[in-house]
Amino acid sequence: MKVEGREYRSIWLAADGRRVEIIDQTRLPHEFRTVCLATLADGARAIRDMLVRGAPLIGATAAYGFCLGLHEGTADRDIDRIGSTLTACRPTAVNLRWAVEQMRSLLLALPAQDRLAAAYLEAARICDEDVRDNEAIGTHGLEIIRKTWEQKGKKSPVQVLTHCNAGWLATVDWGTALAPVYKAHEAGIPIHVWVDETRPRNQGAGLTAWELAAQGIDHHLIVDNAGGHLMQHGRVDLCIVGTDRTTAGGDVCNKIGTYLKALAARDNKVPFYVALPGSTIDWGIENGRLEIPIEERAPEEVLRVHGKTADGAITWVSIAPAATPAVNPAFDVTPARLVTGLITERGVCTANRAGLLTLYPERRDR
């Protein structure tokens, strides 16, 4: 996507062909700053401290983190160490584990002297595949938006509500939940997006609103608690969100607060779609509520907000009494029964094993 007229991905190889560049998402929307990662520790820190975030981008960063780690050694034990360092960074997004496994199995099958070059090729392949998959999600999701527009008699913009940031910044490019929105905008379908601010880290306010403004897409920022009210008053046609892990049974784990939107959508007969690439499906589990580890983040993220002051400083401010205890689960699970459909790179399916297997038949006998 373009930033001030220049085409960007969210991660790319530096000009020296060795280091890796990313956009520091902790500075957005106030400052557009890129950061160069030179070591495995840099890659791990970028994932842990959320300079990069979003399941597909975490996976891509892990793939390049592997390349950076191999400069410190290419023996089997180095591969194991790199893999466990990266996997430990964030527990919920399954793309992290998926990318580490892709790299591990490819590299362990090669002689040590061939591993470094092969790792860079594989990381680039994972990134290119993510871009292709997300664009395909956009194309499939566009048809849902087009149908909604036709059902409205093409009289008023399609109103989409989204949660967190599942735009191009959460992936290598295009995004998952926002890819259909970008495609609809390109196709000339009038569209308006309700952007949940998404406490505690405000990825909606800082990232989704920034992305949509940069692409000239009509949107309004709302507080997390406004979605139900807007749905009750017929002001939301569709919800589209992303996911950090989807089970083989169709349960969807996404940013905390997604479940409440799905409940409100069901009560108000608003279709609730989840957009995801195949790399986000965890085929090994069925029940998301019982089986997905939910990342618990620091209480400080709840007790403070991050923003820009009138004198231009980018800082944290406290919003609660100093001694207030807080808990901070970062994700929740929306049960499959509340999900209208899963929008994948291979098409749209029902949120259950049978639906997923129609699109991924190669998983049938595993």
Contact flag: residue 246 with ligand MRU (CB under 6 A): no
3-state helix/strand/coil string of the chain: CEECCEECCCEEECCCCCCEEEECCCCCCCCCCEEEECCHHHHHHHHHCCCCCCHHHHHHHHHHHHHHHHCCCCCHHHHHHHHHHHHCCCCCCHHHHHHHHHHHHHHHCCCHHHHHHHHHHHHHHHHHHHHHHHHHHHHHHHHHHHHHHHHCCCCCCEEEEECCCCCHHHCCCCCCCCHHHHHHHHCCCCEEEEEECCCCCCHHHHHHHHHHHHCCCEEEEECHHHHHHHHHCCCCCEEEECCCEEECCCCEEEECCHHHHHHHHHHCCCCEEEECCHHHEECCCCCHHHHCCCCECCCHHHHEEEEECCCCCEEEEECCCCCCCCCCECEEEECHHHCCEEEECCEEECCCHHHHHHHCHHHCCC
Using the rule CB under 6 A, give the single segment among 110-118, 141-149, 240-248, 348-356 that binds ligand MRU. Answer: 240-248
The residue number with the shortest CB distance to ligand MRU is 242
Cβ proximity of 189 and 160 under 8 Å: no
Contact flag: residue 166 with ligand MRU (CB under 6 A): yes
Give the list of residues 6+ apart from residue 137 with CB closer than 8 angstroms, or none.
Answer: 174, 176, 179, 180, 275, 276, 277, 343, 344, 345
- Nearer Cβ to ligand MRU (193/330): 330
Min dist CB 23 to ligand MRU, Å, is 14
Residues paired with residue 333 on neighbouring β-strands, in sequence order = 253
The Cα–Cα gap between 203 and 26 comes to: 9
Contact flag: residue 164 with ligand MRU (CB under 6 A): yes
Using the rule CB under 6 A, give the single segment among 53-61, 78-86, 105-113, 321-329 that binds ligand MRU. Answer: 53-61
Contact flag: residue 247 with ligand MRU (CB under 6 A): no
Binding residue (CB under 6 A) for ligand MRU from 254, 279, 334, 344:
254
- Nearer Cβ to ligand MRU (29/107): 29
Q: How many residues bind ligand MRU (CB under 6 A)?
A: 17
Residues acting as catalytic residues: 244
Contact flag: residue 243 with ligand MRU (CB under 6 A): yes
Contact flag: residue 238 with ligand MRU (CB under 6 A): no
Window 279-308: residues binding ligand MRU (CB under 6 A): none
The Cα–Cα gap between 319 and 227 comes to: 23
Using the rule CB under 6 A, give the single segment among 12-20, 49-57, 109-117, 216-224 that binds ligand MRU. Answer: 49-57
Contact flag: residue 60 with ligand MRU (CB under 6 A): no
Contact flag: residue 55 with ligand MRU (CB under 6 A): yes
- Nearer Cβ to ligand MRU (152/304): 304
Contact flag: residue 203 with ligand MRU (CB under 6 A): yes
Contact flag: residue 255 with ligand MRU (CB under 6 A): yes
Window 69-128: residues binding ligand MRU (CB under 6 A): none
- Nearer Cβ to ligand MRU (74/254): 254
Min dist CB 254 to ligand MRU, Å, is 5
Contact flag: residue 227 with ligand MRU (CB under 6 A): no
Using the rule CB under 6 A, give the single segment among 2-10, 15-23, 80-88, 238-246 that binds ligand MRU. Answer: 238-246
Min dist CB 239 to ligand MRU, Å, is 12
Residues at the interface with ligand MRU (CB under 6 A) = 53-56, 164-166, 170, 176, 203, 241-244, 254-255, 330
